[in-house]
Amino acid sequence: MALSFIILSPLTLVIGSALAAPPASQPSAVQIPVLEINGAIGPAMSDYLLSEINLANEVSKPPLIMLVMDTPGGLSSSLRDINQRILSSTIPIACLVYPSGARAASAGTYILYACHIAAMAPATTLGAATPVKISITGDKDDNDDNPKSDAMEQKVLNDAIAYIRSLAQLRGRNAQWAELAVKEAATLTAEEALEKQVIDVLAATPLELLKRLEGHRVKIGEQQQQLHLAQARLEFRQPDWRNRFIGTITNPNIAYILMLIGVYGLLLEFYSPGIGIAGITGAIALLIALYAFQMLPLNYAGLGLLLLGIGLLVVESLQPSFGIFGFGGIVAFIIGSVFLIDTEQPELKLDPLLITGVATVSGIFVLVILGYLWRAQGNRIVSGQEAIIGAYAIVEHDFDGHGFVELAGERWAAVSQQPLKQGESVVVVQMDGLTLTVAAEQPKETYDGSHL
């Protein structure tokens, strides 16, 4: 019996451990990053997409990256950066125009063509990819006979056509319609785009697109790759704090305000030196504005006019000219603000109401506040050692060398190089500690007619 107990005990322990052990964990679902393109395509959007695509290619390596897009277009420079990263990605990228009512206009059409898989939700549109500074065929002004301007516009148009055709040929999509989208601003609905082989899939939601792409074959470089997404789930990736900060400061209206805060902060510090709050704030705001402007299509003629306007307003505050400098400064300020951002995209232009308000506030600030501070610099100092030197005092008692004087109701020790009489008015010429050096007040010269 003892022997049987010895044999059964280890067996019991093994069986009990097996029954008590937790079941083997199921393999975790593959996460598909979903990146959102919502609004105008600019530096902040480009930074967000590039960082997320780089992260997926170099770290997480998911089987697919999904872009969800609703955009009116954006900057050509940002578009080119995004497309270059899409084309170099070793992970297939699917782009879905979503939700219903969304659009992939202008720059969005180029991105859709660049992606490995193009999809649209019902009731969405794409197209109108003509560069915004190019006149659409038939809309050209008959009076515009500048051959250099015509040649430049034609070069830009031909470059855009060649670019989108190359994307269409790379992805095996309709190159003829792509050319029409650029040349004639043609547009398509989702159903028409699928029929004309402009897109690959119709899907109402990102989740439906994920299901439709199970088993789909996509070409990466020179190799065909089949997607296995049955166990995958979507992970919506939001911009981090850095992307949000760049998005805030590269908003042209915010960058414009930061620049003016910087300029006026430095001017205020120059006119009224103090503990440096205005100067430090102005310097920080100006540096942030300069960083933002180097990412935006800045028109340097507009910037020059804006700074000229501020300069003329400052001159008006220093040397009043019956409003000539002030009026010219406000005009230059407004014109410079209008031309400051060199783009025709409404989403990336300065708000006219903001320009009007800032021009008004700037005129008041420069003409009233800075003018007041400049005039205040010429006022007599009323405190400290500077206020004592040059002041008048009254001699208490006769003295020759050392004595006492009364200054502003206070009794001061005084020295003089000449004899002084009680009640005589003297001028303070120097201060050494608590001792004043005084001199007799010189009588004012009077005209007696004895000389010419």
Pairing of strands 392-395, 232-237: unpaired
Q: Is 20 helix (H, G, I), strand (E, B) or coil?
A: helix
Overall average pLDDT of the 168-179 stretch: 94
Q: How confident is the model at residue 12 (pLDDT cuts 50, 70, 90)?
A: very low
How many C-beta atoms lie closer than 10 Å to residue 278's C-beta?
20
Q: How confident is the model at residue 450 (pLDDT cuts 50, 70, 90)?
A: very low
Where do the domains of the chain lie, and which CATH numbers do they carry?
30-137+152-239 (3.90.226.10), 250-376 (no CATH), 384-440 (2.40.50.140)
The pLDDT of residue 26 is: 45
Q: Is 128 helix (H, G, I), strand (E, B) or coil?
A: coil
Token pair, residue 163, equals: 């670019």
| Window from 65-74, 165-174, 261-270, 334-343 with minimum mean pLDDT | 261-270
Give 409 or 242, the one with higher predicted confidence. Answer: 242
| Rounded Cα gap, residues 193 and 199, in angstroms | 6
Examine the pLDDT at 228 and tell me if it is beyond 80: yes
> Are 306 and 336 within 8 A, CB to CB?
yes
Overall average pLDDT of the 164-188 stretch: 94
Give 158 or 452, the one with higher predicted confidence. Answer: 158
State which amino acid sits at residue 183: K
| Rounded Cα gap, residues 70 and 121, in angstroms | 11
The pLDDT of residue 108 is: 94
Q: How confident is the model at residue 369 (pLDDT cuts 50, 70, 90)?
A: low
| Listed ranges 13-22, 216-225, 429-438; the one with the highest mean pLDDT | 216-225
The pLDDT of residue 378 is: 54
Q: How confident is the model at residue 140 (pLDDT cuts 50, 70, 90)?
A: very low
Examine the pLDDT at 341 and tell me if it is beyond 90: no
Dihedrals φ, ψ of 371, to 5°?
A: -60, -40
pTM: 0.69
| Rounded Cα gap, residues 40 and 108, in angstroms | 9
Q: Is 262 helix (H, G, I), strand (E, B) or coil?
A: helix
The rounded Cα 37 to chain-centroid distance in angstroms is: 18
Query: At which residue do the structure tokens 């578009």 appear?
Result: 79
Overall average pLDDT of the 113-121 stretch: 96
How many C-beta atoms lie closer than 10 Å to residue 452's C-beta?
3
| Rounded Cα gap, residues 251 and 246, in angstroms | 8
Tell me the per-residue pLDDT of 61-107, one tens digit each, with 9 for 90 and over.
999 999 999 999 988 889 999 999 999 999 999 999 999 999 999 99
Pairing of strands 217-220, 223-226: antiparallel
Average pLDDT, whole number, for the chain? 82
The pLDDT of residue 90 is: 94
The pLDDT of residue 326 is: 73
The pLDDT of residue 350 is: 85
Write the Ramachandran bin of 322: left for phi over 0, alpha for psi from -120 to 50, otherwise beta: left
